[in-house]
Each structure stands twice: as C-alpha cells, then as structure tokens.
Chain A
Amino acid sequence: MTDPKLVEEAAAPAAVPGAEALPPDAPVEGAPMRSQGRDVWRQFRSHRGAMLALVIFAAIVLFVSLGPVLWRIDPTFVDYRARNQGFTLAHPFGTDQLGRDLLARMMAGGQVSIAVGLVAMAIALSLGSLVGVLSGYFRRLDAPLMRLTELFLALPLLPLLLLMVTLFREPLGKALGPAGGTFLLIVCAIGATSWMQTARIVRGDVLGLKEREFILAAKSIGTPAPRMILRHVLPNVVSPIMVAATLGIATAIITESALSFLGLGFPPDFPTWGRLLFDAVDQMQMYPWRVILPGAFISLTVLSVNYIGDGLRDAMDPRIRGR
C-alpha cells in the first residue's frame, strides 16, 4: 500500500476544508475498486468476533449439508443391539435409546433447524419489508399499516404460536404429510409473527430517504412508483434489512427449538435439534451428553449468527465505519 497515487488521494482532500466527503473527481488508476460491498466487507473483517462467528457458522452449515454425504448412516435406522452407546469410533456421538446414530441425527436435525431458520426469516423479511416500504412510501397507507403492526406487536407471540401449531398440526399433516405439513406450519407461523420489527425499521428508513434529493430527482423525471421502490428505495434500505435478517435467523431457530422442546414441533421420528434435546431430557440423568450436544449446536449456531449480525450492523453503519 505504498502507491504514491493513493497517498496523494488521501492527502489532497485534506487541503480543501469541507471536501473530505467528496469522492475524487476521476477514479484513480490502479487504486483498488471501491464499492459499498467492499467497504462493508473490509469493515466486517476487522470485527474479530464476527469473523470467527462467520467461520463457525460456515463450518456448521457445511457439517449439516455435506456431513450426510460422508457419514452414510441413515438417521432413522434402528439398530437395537447398539443402543445407548457412548462415544465410539462406529458412532462418534453415540447412539440413542433405539440405537440410532446420533451423529447422523445431529446432521439431519441441523438441516431442518437451519432450513426453518432461513425460510422463516425469508418470510418475515419479505412481509416486513413490504409493509415497511408501503407504509413509508405511500402516505395514505401509513396509518393503517402502522396500526396493524402495533396490533401484531401487542399479540402474545409464544402462546399464539403454541396455539397455532397445536391446532393446525394434524389437518396440515394429513394434507401434506407429517413432516412437510409441520414444516410449512412452523415456518409460516414464525414468519407471520416476527415481521414487525423489520417493518418498523424499514419504514423509518424509507421516511428518511423520501426527503433526499435523488428521490426528488427521480420523481421529477417521472419514475413510476414501482420502479422507484425497486430501483431507488429498496437498495438503500438493504443494510438494515440484512441486519434484521441475521437476527431473524437466530430467533427463528430458537423459536423452532423451543416449540420442539415443548413437544409441539416436528413429529418424533423427524429429528431437529430442539426435538433431539426434548427427547433426551427424560434420560438426562444417565446420558447427559445427549442433551448437551444438540443444545450446544443450537447455542453455537444462534451465537454465531448473532455475532455476524452485530458485525454487519457495525460494518454497515457509516457513522462508525473506520473507527
């Protein structure tokens, strides 16, 4: 980084007071490409906790997605002679009371848990961004949509989730198969009850954006509302949405495992981390590891996702960038 041009670029604006914020007139030859993504990434990399969390999260995702390719024991295969085993070479995480391999079950459970987290987050995010953008951009929709958001915020979420899952698990299970039905139900229920924060954040940002000159400029050349939202508004609210997304994954994973822990999640033969923990609680006196392993996986995933969210927030906030 001893490029003389770079030094010039850094030194030049300092001479002109008030011009620090202005970009150089012409792109400097040979200087690294600068874009928001690159800046964010550079800032993100300097957050040590977030980088470590990213590595751990990537490792967990690899473990649950590629693991079953390498570890070919069927997670539902019952080997009654090998039940309740400890850590052995044949079963690195041991086996459960029916002799099912816990390593394979942990991988399968992780797939479901992470999939639930991602899909529920996607639903909550799309709903939240939609409501937020609409109520921020169209003044007439603002009051009713915000009342709706407040109504949803006043709902007791966990009791309602419990209620929804218990009431509709069986009919949906009959229609779509027990696993598919429960998946759809849980994902929709979590998504439908966790979009409000995103909507509020996005609305606030859109309200601020609307006063900016480039929006006025786009409006004055006659940009229609849909293109305005897609081209000018949405790209500028991506950063709060992304932060909300990471935090959303974490809460969705916790909510799913909490439901499973209360015995209201997926069917028993269908492993998820929460379900594995719930099944193991009865035998925790004899086999505490069976409780600790899935719990540790849930906690590690949620912790790393939260740290990534923290790092992203720091990296995307231009006020503290470069501090």
Chain B
Amino acid sequence: MLNFALRRLMLAIPTLLFISLVIFLLLEASPGDPLGDVPLTVPPEVKERMREALGLGQAWYIRYALWLKQFFWVEPLYWFDRAFGTDFSAGMQRIISFQSRSPVFDVIAQRLPQTLTVVGLSYLLGVMIAVPIGIVSAYRQYSWFDQIGTFVSMVGFSLPTFFTGVVLIIVFGIKLQWFPSIYDTTLRVTDWDSFLAQVRQMVMPVTVLALYNAAQISRFMRASMLDNLRQDYVRTARAKGLSERVVVLKHVLRNSLIPVVTVIALGLPAVFGGAIITEQVFKVNGLGQLLILAINANDIPMVMTLTFIFAALIVVFTLVADLLYGVLDPRIRYD
C-alpha cells in the first residue's frame, strides 16, 4: 500500500510538470499581449522597458524554469517563513501578478475563503442530500419515490448552473425579495445579524451548486446500491435472520459507499472549476472570478498559477480516490 502510494506520487510529479508545461506553452502561443491596454501614446522604447520589467524579455524556457522555481521553491519558503518567523526567502522574487503588481498567492489567499465557504458547503450539502436519496431510491426501485428521485436528479444534472442560478435570482431575489442576488464579500460576521445576512446571501449559490452535485452523486449512489442489493451476501445476511435495517444500512450501504466515496473525491476538484460559472452568476469574488478577470486582462502569471492549482487539485484528488479505494475495499491489492 505504502509502496503503491509512493509510486503513484512519483508518477504524479511528471504529470504535473507536463501539465504546467502545456499551460505555459498555451499561454506562450497566445497572441494576446499583456501590454495591450497600454495607451498608444506610450513610445515604443518605454514599452520595451515595461516589457523587460514584466520579465517578458527572456526566452520562454528560461521564464518557464523561473516560474517553476518560484512556484515550487520560493513560495513554499515564503510561507514557511511566515509560519515560523525565519527568513529563508529573503530577497527572492515571488510570483507577481501583472494586474495588481502584488504576489499572486496573496491575492489567491484573499479569494480562497469565499470559494471554500460557498463551494465547500454546497458540496457537503449535496453529498448529505444525495446519499439518503440514493439509498431509498435503490431500495424501493421503481416506486414513486424512485421515479420522482430519478427524474429530479436527471433534471438537476441537465440544468446548467447558470440557468438555475438566474432563475433563482429572478424568483427569490427579484420577485419575492427573500435573498440578496449579489454576494457581498465585504460582509464581516461579527454578531447575530451579520451572521443572518451571511446565511441569507449564501442560500442561493449554495442551493444551486448543492442541487447540481446532489443530482450527480445520487445517481451513482443509486446504481451502486442496486448493484450490491442483488449480491449473494445480501441473501445470506437476510437468511441468517438479520433485520432489514442492519442488512441495508450496514452490509449493503458500506459496500455501496466504496465507489461513491471515490466519485465524491474525484468530483471535488471539478467543483472548483464548475464554481467558476456560479461565482460569475452571483458575483462571488472567489477563485473562479479571479481566473476570468485574469484571463481577460492577459495576466499571465495569475492565469498560469491558478490553472496549475486547479490541475494539481485534480491530480491530488485522483490519487486520494485511488488510495481511498484501496483502504475501503480490502479486496483491492496494489502489487
């Protein structure tokens, strides 16, 4: 097991390097110019010096190596320094955003809490809704509950989040005026009232994302439960007189959760990507919105770092899913 984990980790490193190279080359091949917004009255030699100042003068492989060094060496050192008060990273250049001229990771650290609260909560809620629905749907297959549940999950899976979000805004934000349609990130939770305001503004984005996630996960849960309910060990468990409750909630549920847990782990990074749209709908200034702003402004270091973080999340969670599968299912052997 440890051996397998180490081997997979070793494999993840070239994967990540390759992905970073792909993203970098894609950005490199782009015809967009980070100085495109500079007024035409700026003389060419000044523009050239600005280009040098942004570090755009060198060949691409030097800049790529520099980015790698900054991402994997300077940034960890910096955060280490911040945590322990040392100064290993003194005098080292961190990744700087073209747009704001501040370190990319500081901006990301500002944006991360919004994304995590909204996206994380919605994923948690989605899972908590999906698992019971999947269990009941499978146990009472073809009952009215199953029919409705399957239909609703199909609908939730098919409706794009930008549409459900906008419809929720029209109904609850504009017509009924129950919830604010724009997420206010300057809100600080200090007392009961501000906490209520925070909850109210989170209701709609969380509902949209939770519905979407619940729809997908409940489909998996139902299929997995159905597979397991037909197994011989279920008949054995019933034959030896276990109560139905124990059979379903202990024997079947535990076995059906194995694939579902991996699906949940695999889905987590995709949620960060999918949240890009929801964040745009509700004007949550999280990571997704940051990425879109950076893309529009040709802010190469920011785009590169953010996209790479998304990729790293995917690689890490794929690894986690693989390992979880082995931990949960002792029949799987990695040799």
Beta-carbon contacts under 8 Å, A149-189 to B = 150-151, 153-160, 162-164, 166-168, 170-171
Range class of the A interface residue count: 35 or more
Contact A158 B314 (CB under 8 A): no
Contact B310 A156 (CB under 8 A): yes
Taking the closest CB of chain B, its distance from the CB of A255, in whole angstroms, is 9
A292 in the interface, Cβ–Cβ < 8 Å?
yes
Contact B154 A159 (CB under 8 A): no
**Set A150, A292, A310: member contacting B15, Cβ < 8 A:** A150
Q: Which residue, of A156, A157, A160, A281, has the highest number of chain B Cβ atoms within 10 A?
A: A156
Contact B166 A281 (CB under 8 A): yes
Q: Which residue, of B174, B295, B315, has the highest number of chain A Cβ atoms within 10 A?
A: B295
Stretch in contact with the other chain, from A30-38, A69-77, A213-221, A300-308: A300-308
**Set B31, B157, B166, B311: member contacting A291, Cβ < 8 A:** B166
Closest chain A residue, CB of each to CB of B30: A167
Contact A166 B170 (CB under 8 A): no
Contact A277 B166 (CB under 8 A): yes
Chain B residues lying within 8 Å of A281, measured Cβ to Cβ, are 166
Chain B residues lying within 8 Å of A261, measured Cβ to Cβ, are 160, 162, 277, 280
Taking the closest CB of chain B, its distance from the CB of A268, in whole angstroms, is 16
B307 in the interface, Cβ–Cβ < 8 Å?
yes
Chain A residues lying within 8 Å of B158, measured Cβ to Cβ, are 250, 299, 302-303, 306
A284 in the interface, Cβ–Cβ < 8 Å?
yes
B276-291 CB mask vs A (1 if < 8 Å, else 0) is: 1100100000000001
What CA separation (Å) do A302 and B292 show in the bound complex? 25
Contact B167 A171 (CB under 8 A): no
Beta-carbon contacts under 8 Å, B298-332 to A = 303, 306-307, 310-311, 313-315, 318
Contact A158 B163 (CB under 8 A): no
B154-186 CB mask vs A (1 if < 8 Å, else 0) is: 110111101100110110001000000000000
Contact A262 B277 (CB under 8 A): yes
**Set B27, B30, B273: member contacting A158, Cβ < 8 A:** B273
A257 in the interface, Cβ–Cβ < 8 Å?
yes
Taking the closest CB of chain A, its distance from the CB of B142, in whole angstroms, is 11
Beta-carbon contacts under 8 Å, A104-154 to B = 150-151, 153-154
Chain A residues lying within 8 Å of B310, measured Cβ to Cβ, are 156, 159
Chain B residues lying within 8 Å of A171, measured Cβ to Cβ, are 31
In the A-B complex, the 9 residue pairs with the closest CB atoms: A156-B310, A167-B30, A295-B163, A303-B158, A158-B273, A302-B158, A288-B170, A261-B162, A159-B307
Would you give 6 A-B contacts (Cβ < 8 Å), ordered by A? A261-B277, A284-B169, A291-B170, A292-B170, A299-B160, A306-B154
Q: Chain A interface (Cβ within 8 Å of chain B)?
A: 49, 150-151, 153-160, 162-164, 166-168, 170-171, 250, 254, 257-258, 261-262, 277, 281, 284-285, 288, 291-292, 295-296, 298-299, 302-303, 306-307, 310
Given contacts A156-B307, A163-B295, 15 further A-B contacts (CB under 8 A): A151-B18, A154-B15, A156-B313, A158-B274, A159-B276, A163-B30, A163-B307, A166-B295, A167-B26, A261-B160, A261-B162, A295-B160, A298-B163, A299-B160, A306-B158
